[in-house]
Amino acid sequence: MGRFRGSSTTVLKPKTTKQVSEILKWCNERRIGVVPQGGNTGLVGGSVPVKDELVLSLSNMNQVREFDPVSGILVADAGCILQTLTDYVAPHNHIMPIDLGAKGSCQIGGNVATNAGGLRLLRYGSLHGTVLGLEVVLPDGTVLDQLTTLRKDNTGYDIKQLFIGAEGTLGVITGVSILTPPAPQASNNVILVLPSFQNVLPLYQTVKRQLSEILSAFEFIDRTAYDLAVKHGQGRALSDEDIEGAECFVLVETSGGKREHDEEKLNTLLENLLEAENPLINTGVLSQNPAQFSSLWALREGVTEAVSKEGKPYKYDISVPLSSFKEVVDNTREHLRSKGLLHDKAVKHVLGYGHVGDGNLHLNIVADSYLPEIQDALEPYIYEVVSSYRGSVSAEHGIGYQKTHALHYSKDEASIALMKKIKNAIFQDENGLPVKFFIQKDIPQEIQ
């Protein structure tokens, strides 16, 4: 996002876990701040230095360690790029349980560190379920070998879970063991064009009921998000006729075992939707071949890139009730308008998109430039809205540098205190005292 900038002089790119261990031990003894960096695609400023920290890049740790085609268990270095792993397991008829727009650059270690959600969570669940084991280097250089490939292991606390989503604040992930599901025999997708956001919820219920086991994604983009994706060349635009009167769009993907069966189910769904007395959709555009399948996905996956091309993005990745998605986007726009900030030289667009099935809305505000008055208008306004729904101020992107001050909107005091205790238990010096130094340059004040 080009929003955060530090003044580091050093990037280290270790090739082995032993080297990571030596680096962390050396830095820990000298109280040198370290920023673990994966593919640097994170959206909350967690992977970039903000002061003069040492950058520890995992990009040279990029080997697959083992793959068992029978169980589908993959063990890989943390620096392997997600797309590379996807390509690696594909000939064995497996897929990665996680997929996201940044797949060409993000690393599996970064995905695990952020507990990234993405486009397949609806079907395959979160990384808390699919990651079987981790190898982690603790701040003092200790290597924690939890790289098991066991499906079951109830021997005490499940310590690896602590590092999933810890964003590098507790240690550096160097290896990941992950369960890869069998590749679906058939995948289809369709973009449904909706006249009103009100229809999204009943549509989701209908689609779930009718597609049941073959439904693998249900993603939402509003009209502004669609227009920006098209403007910046993400995917192929639908025809003018198809998008006439469209307030928003839903991308539905199916993944199943038999093409004819899945196609029949999807076609029947479309027919039922279009022929209903009060149709929930204006129309549906079904992909007819692999190129169209990718092109429809690009309209959804490409929104982040389109937003960055359009201007300077303010990003809010929130969990709120599905029924409030539109209200949150519209109210934010009106709030900015009431402050006189909705014009070409300030905020150009307010848009919403996201993972309906996960209750996760991406609220993006695109500005001409980053301005303090926009920032002040957005925060704490948005966090208070989220808090009023008992939602989350970071559904899937993490806390990073950007959201540290907002943690208390989603976590109560007791939870923050417990996080602090856990952190202190890991960051002890040889006298048993918690060290006042952290592996990542900026930890929420509340848990320092």
- Interface residues with ligand FAD (CB under 6 A) are 35-43, 46-47, 58, 78, 100-102, 106-107, 109-111, 113-114, 116-119, 167-168, 172-173, 304-305, 396-397, 400, 440
49 vs 101 by CB, closer to ligand 2HG: 101
**DSSP string for residues in 164-208:** TTSTTSS-EEEEEEEEPPBPPSEEEEEEEEES-GGGHHHHHHHHH
Residues 317-336 that bind ligand 2HG (CB under 6 A): 317
Smallest distance, ligand 2HG to C-beta of residue 294, A: 16
56 vs 229 by CB, closer to ligand 2HG: 229
121 vs 280 by CB, closer to ligand 2HG: 121
List the single partner that 107 binds among ligand 2HG, ligand FAD, none, CB under 5 to 8 Å by kind.
Answer: ligand FAD
Smallest distance, ligand 2HG to C-beta of residue 200, A: 16
Contact 262, 188 (CB under 8 A): yes
Q: What is the rounded CA–CA span in Å between residue 337 and residue 347?
A: 9
Query: Greatest CA span in the chain, whole angstroms?
Result: 73
Q: Does 123 bind ligand 2HG (CB under 6 A)?
A: no
Smallest distance, ligand FAD to C-beta of residue 354, A: 9
119 vs 407 by CB, closer to ligand FAD: 119
CA distances from 216 to 189, 301, 335 (A): 10, 15, 35
Pairing verdict, β 34-37 and 11-12: unpaired
Contact 296, 287 (CB under 8 A): yes
138 vs 303 by CB, closer to ligand 2HG: 303
- CA nearest neighbour of 81 among 59, 66, 101, 98: 59
Pairing verdict, β 360-367 and 34-37: unpaired
| Residue appearing with tokens 């909705």 | 342
Residues 82-101 that bind ligand 2HG (CB under 6 A): 101
Contact 106, 58 (CB under 8 A): no
| Residue appearing with tokens 């727009």 | 101
Q: What is the rounded CA–CA span in Å between residue 365 and residue 387?
A: 19
Q: Which residues pair with 57 in a beta bridge?
A: 37
118 vs 311 by CB, closer to ligand FAD: 118
Q: Does 304 bind ligand 2HG (CB under 6 A)?
A: yes
Smallest distance, ligand FAD to C-beta of residue 58, A: 5
List the single partner that 37 binds among ligand 2HG, ligand FAD, none, CB under 5 to 8 Å by kind.
Answer: ligand FAD
Q: What is the rounded CA–CA span in Å between residue 437 and residue 434?
A: 9
Contact 103, 114 (CB under 8 A): no
Smallest distance, ligand 2HG to C-beta of residue 100, A: 6
Contact 67, 80 (CB under 8 A): no
172 vs 280 by CB, closer to ligand FAD: 172
List the single partner that 122 binds among ligand FAD, ligand 2HG, none, CB under 5 to 8 Å by kind.
Answer: none
Sign of the torsion formed by the C-alpha atoms of 84, 316, 354 and 359 = positive
For residue 434, what is the DSSP state? B
Q: Does 224 bind ligand 2HG (CB under 6 A)?
A: no
Number of residues that bind ligand 2HG (CB under 6 A): 8
CA distances from 271 to 117, 268, 371 (A): 32, 5, 48
| Residue appearing with tokens 């205790």 | 421
370 vs 381 by CB, closer to ligand FAD: 370
122 vs 172 by CB, closer to ligand 2HG: 122
Pairing verdict, β 248-256 and 186-194: antiparallel
Smallest distance, ligand 2HG to C-beta of residue 350, A: 12
Residues 359-398 that bind ligand 2HG (CB under 6 A): 362, 364
Smallest distance, ligand FAD to C-beta of residue 392, A: 12
Residue from 315, 326, 349, 441 in contact with ligand 2HG (CB under 6 A): 315
List the single partner that 364 binds among ligand 2HG, ligand FAD, none, CB under 5 to 8 Å by kind.
Answer: ligand 2HG
172 vs 346 by CB, closer to ligand FAD: 172
